[in-house]
Amino acid sequence: MNTIIYVGMDVHKDTYSLCAFDAQNQCIFSETTIKAEVVHVLKYVKSIENRYNDKDIAVVCGYEAGPTGFSLCRDLQKAKVSCVVMAPSYLPKSPDNKRRKTDKIDARGLALHLAHNTYKAVNVLSPELESIKELTRVRASATRAKKRAKQILLSFLLRKGMVYPFGGRAKYWTQKFDAWLKTLEFANPLDRYSFEEYLTEVNHQVGRVARLDEKIAEIAETNLIEKEVRKLCCFNGISTYTAVSLISEVGDFHRFEKASHFANYLGLCPGVSGVTIIPRPGSW
């Protein structure tokens, strides 16, 4: 390849802002905004290739990871167009970008990051793993909703002066606690109605999480991730849900050469402090 053209794409729900950069001649050109469809991106790439019709060129596209997902990258790769998804947290930000920020400026910056290799590529999940990841997100959302529904019910009971008499917070939501809820009586019918609505929401969210756990356990036994799930579940503290979440988030574990690289990816910074450990009396 004699020439590589880098195309920065600032992608949004309705439009894509594109900018091409010729690293060999150090020039920016073909800045435009198109409708957010892969067919228009392919036409744009074709127009660049036609512009250099007398040369052997390669076009490399890139955009920031965000709510638009990986579908654009996968579609371009299927069409034999090189494309990468860049991690926003690793892109250097210049002071000018903080004062002036437009789609055009962002597209220029992405094209330059591609050309100068000042980015870190995001691992693009397969459609199957991405679907599993969405399911784990639903489960996480349902868990938050369940916790919120329980808090709302407890707050209602506290406002009515009804405090569980058999222990602290750790004793809530047990069979004994459920039996206590059934003994509650309200002088005002509206309070009874409110209580039943709050309790119905709690039961709904509890059942929702249980159904999602069953579905995730079913997926964990499929050929796609079964081996990886069994390996991860060998570690203490890793459940089936946690294992499936890790697999759908990380994708290919082999892309990490060392354990420390994987720890950095997770944001873990293990270390040992210079603390002297003194044995307890009678332990030696």
What's residue 82's pLDDT?
A: 95
Residue 57's contacts (CB-CB under 8 Å, 6 or more residues apart) are: 1, 2, 3, 4, 5, 48, 49
What's residue 282's pLDDT?
A: 46
Residues 62-90, mean pLDDT to the nearest whole number:
93
Q: Where are the domains of the chain?
A: 3-116, 127-257
Query: Are 229 and 243 contacting, i.e. CB atoms less than 8 angstroms apart?
Result: yes
Q: Is the pLDDT of residue 54 over 70?
A: no
Q: Is the pLDDT of residue 218 over 70?
A: yes
Q: Amino acid letter at 178? A: D
Measure CA of the first residue to CA of the last residue in the chain; give whole Å: 70
Residue 130 confidence class, pLDDT cut points 50, 70, 90: very high
Spatial separation of the C-alpha atoms in residues 45 and 58, rounded to whole Å: 10
> Closest by alpha carbon to 240, among 231, 253, 251?
231
Residues 65-78, mean pLDDT to the nearest whole number:
93
In percent, how much of the chain has pLDDT > 90? 72
CATH 3.40.50.360 fits 3-116, yes or no: no
Q: Is the pLDDT of residue 51 over 60?
A: yes
Residue 53 confidence class, pLDDT cut points 50, 70, 90: confident
Residue 22's contacts (CB-CB under 8 Å, 6 or more residues apart) are: 3, 5, 28, 29
What's residue 142's pLDDT?
A: 97
pTM of the predicted model as reported, rounded to 2 decimal places:
0.78
The model's pLDDT over 183-207, given as tens digits with 9 standing for 90+, comes to 999 999 999 999 999 999 999 999 9
Residue 271 confidence class, pLDDT cut points 50, 70, 90: low
Residue 224's contacts (CB-CB under 8 Å, 6 or more residues apart) are: 128, 129, 132
Query: Are 7 and 51 contacting, i.e. CB atoms less than 8 angstroms apart?
Result: no
Q: Is the pLDDT of residue 167 over 50?
A: yes
Residues 18-37, mean pLDDT to the nearest whole number:
94
- Could you write out the DSSP letters of every residue in 154-187? HHHHHHTT---SS-SGGGTTSHHHHHHHHT---S
Residue 263 confidence class, pLDDT cut points 50, 70, 90: confident
Residues 246-265, mean pLDDT to the nearest whole number:
86
In percent, how much of the chain has pLDDT > 70? 90
Map tokens 């919120």 to a residue. 148
Residues 51-68, mean pLDDT to the nearest whole number:
89
Map tokens 């450990």 to a residue. 277
What's residue 170's pLDDT?
A: 66
**Number of DSSP helices (H) and strands (E) in the chain, helices first:** 10, 5
Query: Are 15 and 35 contacting, i.e. CB atoms less than 8 angstroms apart?
Result: yes
